[in-house]
Structure 1
Amino acid sequence: MTQQHHLRGVLLASSACILWGISGVAASTLFINNPHLTAMWLTQVRMISAGLILIIWGMLAGKHPFQIWHHRHAVWTAVSYGLLGLIPVQLCYFEAVRVGNAPIATIIQFLGPFIISIYYFLFKHVTPSRIELIGMIMAFIGTLLIVTHGHLNSLAISPVVLFWGGLSAIGVATNTLIPRTILPKYGALTVTGWGLLIAGIFLTLLQPMWRVHLTITWPQFGLLLVIILLGTVAPFLMFARSLSDILPTTASLMDAFEPLAATVFSITFLNVQLTSFDFVGGLLIILAVMALSMNTHKMLQFLHRRRAHSS
């Protein structure tokens, strides 16, 4: 791997995460300018549109996306990925943005990797390392600062924001863990495309989007395209492409650009006011997740060795 390829991978991964952060700001702008817009409707449109685009893209790229339907295990995994992974990570995130703001929602969602560490500890009996324990303490303090602003007897943010943000963080964990068994065989493009489409159709069956009476202006339609194309399809393709040039642990470090982008663009374009507690708390969480990401490959190597030994 040349230095040029490594730089390309870093730029692709960081740009993808910045676009994900911008999509949250675009969603927040839509919710502000159109009070009748719901997180459910926005998630449905985003999932179905992006899912179809990714599946068609896979067909054009010769990935044979329909092969996944020939194996029962793969189908159930894709369905579980869509319903238990993508719905909470997208619908609950948009709900947190709608009732709060993009920076806080993104930072709370950023706690997802620690839920993965807790899962490995409880169900895989992988003891957290020292750096992971330090990271968890940092993340806890950072979250406490954001939630209480230093006053432990009261909440500085709405419990509703914390609720939806917490569910979206759990979604980050399930979104990462569920599809791992089928990704090597079918590829991220196929799995993510079908997961998005399945999730979008499921939500539409629960609440048909055509029953929602909305008036969308052209600027709002432009923001919707930003969320679908620049905030979903493009960053996914960019991040997936970056993994051929850099290690997954390096790519995961670029995730820090998502809450940073959401914060910078929200302050610049939406005049969102954040306190020093929000900045310090967010910084602690970002540093904690970066520390965890640098140690993730050791945990995966341990699991691989343990699996090989048991077999």
Structure 2
Amino acid sequence: MMGNQIENFRWKGIGLALAGASLWGFSGNAAEWIFSHSAMTATWLVSVRMVMAGALLLFLISFHHNIFGVWRNKKDRFDLVVFSLTGMLGAQLTFFLSIEAGNAPTATLLQFLGPVFITLYFALKLLKWPKRKEWIAVLMALSGTFLLLTNGSLQEITVSEKAIFWGVLSGVSVAVYTVYPVRLLKQYASATIVGWAMLLGGSAVSIFTQPWQPNEIDWSFSLFGMLSFVVIFGTLLPFYLYLDSLKYISSTETSLLGSAEPLVATIVSVIWLGTAFGSFQTAGGMLIILTVFLLSMPEKGWIQVNQSLKK
């Protein structure tokens, strides 16, 4: 009986992680729809999305956690602000700018280069060559990126330069927000750190976008519904599902299941938005996803990918 209960819990965790990753995949396509059907910009969307999601998250967890504890220590305050403006805001803004300039599947796959940048960061920090597994992962990621962006031919660049630039930068930002807040996450609930980071990062962008001012956005019921989906079902809900999944399965398993995000993003984009993907691009995307699997395989070493702060 106990064994069956443990197995049921594990399947529950798998279901929660897959649901969260799938919602993130849908979210990217929803953002792409917004950009193509309105005058809304990536910076405007990011500012509103982060402020609303961060405020809602802090409100919900305030019933169970002391959300102001992180502000009592000077070092913690400094690290939180730096993380908010570099890691969280950087990952959010570059991801949506890549979608705005290209499409959701490509932006999502390029963001999955984050583990490769983490590997290179630790190699430089520790002055230690990566292990064979990590070298293979880097080569797989580079090969996958080449196929994804060129469809197998240098004569045929299938993605705009802006989309590539912001997509690669989003991978770097993912590495930053994965590595930088480790100390904070050991002292405070991850939901508290993420909530404040979203609120602070979104507020910083709002200084420039000023979403409260009149703009050229022609609001409709569809546009409002899609924006609400991005905030609630593309940000708040998947984060909660991710946290719940960690109660039943390991962070490594959750990271691996997170690879469902680019698959969902690609499938939804092809069916809903009519995005064309060549066979070489598909192969490239699979290589990038396999990179995450390879780096997440348990091994005695100094690098393990943990995407506990996804989107």
Deviation at 1:149, TM superposition (A): 2.0
- What residue identity is the alignment partner of 1:276? S
Q: Contact (CA 8 Å) 2:152, 2:281: kept in 1 or not? A: no
Q: Cα deviations across residues 221-241 of structure 1 (Å, max 9, x unaligned)? A: 111111011110011111111
124 and 244 in structure 1: CA distance in 2 versus 1, 3 angstrom threshold: farther
- C-alpha distance in structure 2 between counterparts of 1:2 and 1:145, whole Å: 41
Matched to 2:52, the amino acid is: S
In structure 1, give the amino acid aligned to 2:171: A
For the pair 1:252 / 2:250, whether they are aligned, the reply is: no
Distance of 1:115 and 1:252 partners within structure 2: 16
Q: What is the identity, as a one-letter code, of the residue corresponding to 1:116?
A: I
Aligned to 2:54: 51
* Native 8 Å contact 1:22 1:261 kept in 2: yes
For 1:207-218, list aligned pairs within 5 A.
207-211=209-213, 212-218=215-221
Q: How does 1:129-208 map to 2 (within 5 A)?
A: 129-152=131-154, 155-208=157-210
Verify the 8 A CA contact 1:88 1:171 in the aligned structure 2.
Answer: yes
Match of 1:30 in 2: 34
Q: After superposition, where does 1:1-311 map in structure 2 within 5 Å?
A: 2-34=6-38, 36-60=39-63, 62-152=64-154, 155-211=157-213, 212-295=215-298, 298-299=301-302
Amino acid at match of 2:16: L
Unaligned runs of 5+ in 2: 305-311
Percentage of pairs with the same residue: 35
Displacement of 1:130: 1.7
The TM-score normalised by the length of structure 1 is 0.92
Q: Which runs of 4+ in 1 moved over 4 A?
A: none
Q: Distance in 2 between matches of 1:98 and 1:181?
A: 33
Change (3 A) 1:289 1:124: same
Structure 1: state its 5+ residue gaps: 302-311
> How many Å apart are 1:206 and its aligned residue?
2.7
Measured in 1, the distance between the counterparts of 2:140 and 2:271 equals 28
Partner SS, residue 49 of structure 1: helix
Superposed CA RMSD in Å reads 1.6
The residue that corresponds to 1:304 in the other structure is none
**C-alpha displacement of 1:257:** 0.5
Q: Quick one: distance in 1 between partners of 2:118 and 2:202?
A: 25
Residue 154 of structure 1: how far off its partner (Å): 5.5
State whether residues 135 and 288 of structure 1, in contact with CA within 8 Å, keep that contact through their aligned partners in structure 2. Answer: yes
Give 2:12's aligned amino acid. Answer: R
Q: Separation in 1 of the partners of 2:295 and 2:44?
A: 34
Local SS of the residue matching 1:274: coil
| Superposed displacement of residue 262, structure 1 | 0.4
Greater Cα shift, 238-247 or 192-201: 238-247
1-structure distance, mates of 2:123, 2:145? 21
SS of residue paired to 1:65:
coil
Q: CA deviation at 1:298?
A: 3.7
CA distance in 2, matches of 1:268, 1:14: 20
Tell me the CA shift for residue 117 of structure 1.
0.6
Q: CA deviation at 1:8?
A: 1.2
Residue pair 2:30, 2:230 contacting (<8 A) in 1 also: yes
Quick one: distance in 1 between partners of 2:149 and 2:129?
28
- Count of matched residue pairs: 299
Distance 1:156 1:76, change over 3 A: same
Q: Tell me if structure 2 keeps the 8 A contact 1:132–1:295.
A: no
In the TM superposition, what is the alpha-carbon distance from 1:297 to its structure 2 partner?
7.0
